[in-house]
C-alpha cells in the first residue's frame, strides 16, 4: 500500500471544524474495515499532518490552541493539500510567503482542496482561475471579486473541477469523503462514514 | 446576557471530531444572527474552554496536538461539561483523579454531556446509573457491562435523560446543537446550523 501524505494548512483564526472535519475523516479512513483496524496505522491510506506558517502554536477561531506538526519551511512533500477557512484567511491572503508555498505545493500535489473561505486563499494564489468553485455562502461575492474567471457555484456543497472546493465549515467533511472515495473507492469512504456515524451529503460524481 | 461556561475535556487519544464538533457549534453560536456577529464575542451565549488532566499538550487520535486552556487542577467552574470519546477513554476510565473531578463538576454543572465513547467515562464515574444513554455503536455492550442499570439506546443519535449522551463521533455535532437549543432556543440553534452549513439530524424533543 502506498500511503499518501495529506497536509492540512493551519493558521491563526482558522475555523476549527474546517480543519478538524477533514483531519478526522482522512486520518481515520482505513482500507481494512472495522473497529480494530483503527487501533493501528497498518491500513491507513493517508498520513495526515498539520502545517502552519511557523512552528508556533496557532490560535484557532474560538481560541482552540493547536501545535502544528510542521512549518511551511520544513514541511514534507504532500500528495494532498487542504486549505481550511476562517476569518484568518483574510491575513493569509496577504501573506506572500504562504501564497508562494501554496502555489509550489499545488504544482507537485495530486490534489488541492479547500473548505469554506479557504477558497479565497486558493483564488488569491491563482489556483482557481477558469474553474468552477464554491465557498461559504457569505463569501460568494468576495470569491467572484478576487478572480472574475472563477465560476462560483452558489449552493453546491462540494465542487470538483481539478481543484476541489467546498461550502462552509461542515461541508469540509463531505469534501474529505470525496477525497477518500477518489483515492480508495466508494466502499472505503462509506465504511469510514459508518465508523464516524456520518451520513454523506450531496456527493458529486467522482472526478 | 449571562454567558455560560462550557468545559470540553481533552485527553491523550481523544477523537478529534468528538471534541472539535461541539467546540465549533458552541463557540460559534450567537444570539444575534448573521456573519458580523461572529466577529466578536458580544452575543456569544457560551464561553468554551478546553480542560485536560494536566496543562501539557495532548496528542489526539491521528496525532493532532492541542494545548488545553486549563488543567483539572486549575479549571474554572463550568455550567456545561462535555466529555468526548476516543480510544483514550480507556485510560481515562482508570484515572481516579479525573473521575473524581468529573463527578465534582457534574454536581455543580447545569448539564453534563458526552460524545461517542465519552459515555463510558460517564458510566465509570457513576453518572449514568438508571439513565437511558447511548454511545458509539461498537461500544454498546461495553457501556452496558460497566453499569447494568444503564438502558443503552442502540440506534439513537442523541439521548437526553438528565445527562445527554450521543452516538459516535459526528453525532457530537447534533448533541451540541441540542445544548444550544436548550439554552438559547430553536431559532439560535437553527441559525448557527445555517452558519456552519450543517443540517441537524434526529433531533429529539428538548429535555
Mean pLDDT of chain A: 96
Helix (H) or strand (E) run with residue A160 in it: strand A158-161
The alpha carbon of B56 is separated from its chain's Cα centroid by a whole number of angstroms, namely 21
Q: In B, which residues are within 8 Å of A170 by CB distance?
A: 173, 196-198
SS3 track for chain B:
CCCEEEEEECCCCCCHHHHHHHHHHHHHCCCCCCCHHHHCCCCCCEEEEEEECCCCCEECCCCCEEECCEECCCCCCCCEEEECCCCCHHHHCCCHHHHHHHHHHHHHCCEEEECCCHHHHHHHCCCCCCCEECCCHHHHHHHHHHCCCCEECCCCCEEEECEEEECCCCHHHHHHHHHHHHHHCHHHHHHHHHHCCCCCCCCCCCC
Residue-wise pLDDT tens digits, B89-144: 999 999 999 999 999 999 999 999 999 999 999 999 999 999 999 999 999 999 99
> Parallel, antiparallel, or unpaired for β B4-9 and B46-52?
parallel
B207 in any annotated domain: no
Q: How many CB pairs under 8 A join A and B?
A: 111
Which pLDDT band holds residue B203 (cuts at 50, 70, 90)?
Answer: low
B205 in any annotated domain: no
Among B10, B83, B116, B152, the active-site one is B116
B206 in any annotated domain: no
Q: Do A169 and B21 touch (CB under 8 A)?
A: no
Using an 8 Å Cβ cutoff, are A134 and A166 in contact?
A: yes
Res B89: pLDDT: 98
CA distance A125 to chain B (A): 25
Domain with A173 in it: 4-195
> Would you list which residues of chain B are within 8 Å, Cβ to Cβ, of chain A?
15-17, 20-21, 23-24, 27-28, 35, 38-39, 48-50, 57, 61-69, 87, 136-138, 157, 167-171, 173, 195-199, 201
Res A1: pLDDT: 72
**First vs last Cα of chain A: how many Å apart?**
22
Which residues, 6 or more positions from B111, have their beta carbon under 8 angstroms from its beta carbon?
A: B79, B80, B81, B164, B179, B182
Using an 8 Å Cβ cutoff, are B85 and B175 in contact?
A: no
> Parallel, antiparallel, or unpaired for β B80-83 and B4-9?
parallel
Q: What is the mean pLDDT of residues A105-113?
A: 98
d(CA A53, CA A50): 10
Reduced to 3 states (helix: H, G, I; strand: E, B; else coil), residue A115 is: coil
A205 in any annotated domain: no
A56 in any annotated domain: yes
pTM: 0.97
**Which of B170, B171, B175, B176 is the best residue to mutate to test the A interface, defined by the most A CB atoms within 10 Å of its own CB?**
B170
Q: Do B65 and A65 touch (CB under 8 A)?
A: no
B140 in any annotated domain: yes
| Total domains in the fold of chain B | 1
Res A2: pLDDT: 87
**Which of B64, B82, B86 is the best residue to mutate to test the A interface, defined by the most A CB atoms within 10 Å of its own CB?**
B64
Q: In A, which residues are within 8 Å of B137 by CB distance?
A: 197
Residue-wise pLDDT tens digits, A78-104: 999 999 999 999 999 999 999 999 999
Q: Do A170 and B50 touch (CB under 8 A)?
A: no
A206 in any annotated domain: no
Q: What is the mean pLDDT of residues A192-202?
A: 94
Q: What is the mean pLDDT of residues A183-187?
A: 97
**Which of B17, B56, B201 is the best residue to mutate to test the A interface, defined by the most A CB atoms within 10 Å of its own CB?**
B17
Reduced to 3 states (helix: H, G, I; strand: E, B; else coil), residue A118 is: helix
Question: Which CATH number characterizes residue A65's domain?
Answer: 3.40.50.880
Res B125: pLDDT: 98
Burial B17-51 (b: 16+ CB within 10 A, else e): bbbbbbbbbbbbbbbebeeebbeeeebbbbbbbbb
**DSSP structural state of residue A38:** G
d(CA A1, CA A66): 30
Q: In B, which residues are within 8 Å of A199 by CB distance?
A: 201
Among the partner-chain residues A21, A24, A62, the one whose CB lies closest to the CB of B48 is A62
Q: In A, which residues are within 8 Å of B6 by CB distance?
A: none
Q: Do B137 and A197 touch (CB under 8 A)?
A: yes
Which residues, 6 or more positions from A108, have their beta carbon under 8 angstroms from its beta carbon?
A: A77
> Parallel, antiparallel, or unpaired for β B151-152 and B132-133?
parallel
Give the ipTM: 0.96
Q: In percent, how much of chain B has pLDDT > 70?
A: 97
The cell for B177 is 446543537
Which pLDDT band holds residue A205 (cuts at 50, 70, 90)?
Answer: very low
**DSSP structural state of residue A168:** S
A201 in any annotated domain: no
Q: What is the mean pLDDT of residues B8-12?
A: 98
B116 is catalytic: yes
Using an 8 Å Cβ cutoff, are B52 and B14 in contact?
A: no
Amino acid at each position: 500500500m502506498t500511503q499518501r501524505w495529506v497536509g492540512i494548512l493551519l493558521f491563526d483564526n482558522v475555523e476549527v471544524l474546517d480543519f478538524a472535519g477533514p483531519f478526522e475523516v482522512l486520518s481515520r479512513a482505513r482500507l481494512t474495515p472495522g473497529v480494530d483496524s483503527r487501533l493501528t496505522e497498518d491500513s491507513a491510506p493517508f498520513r495526515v499532518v498539520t502545517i502552519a506558517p511557523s512552528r508556533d502554536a496557532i490560535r484557532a477561531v474560538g481560541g482552540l490552541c493547536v501545535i502544528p506538526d510542521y512549518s511551511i519551511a520544513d514541511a514534507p512533500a504532500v500528495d494532498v493539500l487542504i486549505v481550511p477557512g476562517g476569518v484568518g484567511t483574510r491575513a493569509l491572503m496577504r501573506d506572500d510567503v504562504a501564497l508562494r508555498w501554496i502555489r509550489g505545493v499545488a504544482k507537485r500535489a495530486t490534489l488541492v482542496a479547500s473548505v469554506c473561505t479557504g477558497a479565497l486563499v486558493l483564488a488569491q494564489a491563482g489556483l482557481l482561475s477558469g474553474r468552477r468553485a464554491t465557498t461559504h455562502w457569505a463569501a460568494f461575492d468576495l470569491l467572484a471579486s478576487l478572480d472574475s474567471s472563477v465560476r462560483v457555484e452558489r449552493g453546491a456543497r462540494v465542487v470538483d473541477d481539478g481543484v476541489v472546493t467546498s461550502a462552509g465549515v461542515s461541508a469540509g467533511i463531505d469534501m474529505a469523503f470525496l477525497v477518500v472515495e477518489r483515492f480508495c473507492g466508494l466502499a472505503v469512504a462509506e465504511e469510514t462514514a459508518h465508523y464516524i456515524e456520518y451520513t454523506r451529503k450531496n456527493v458529486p460524481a467522482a472526478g
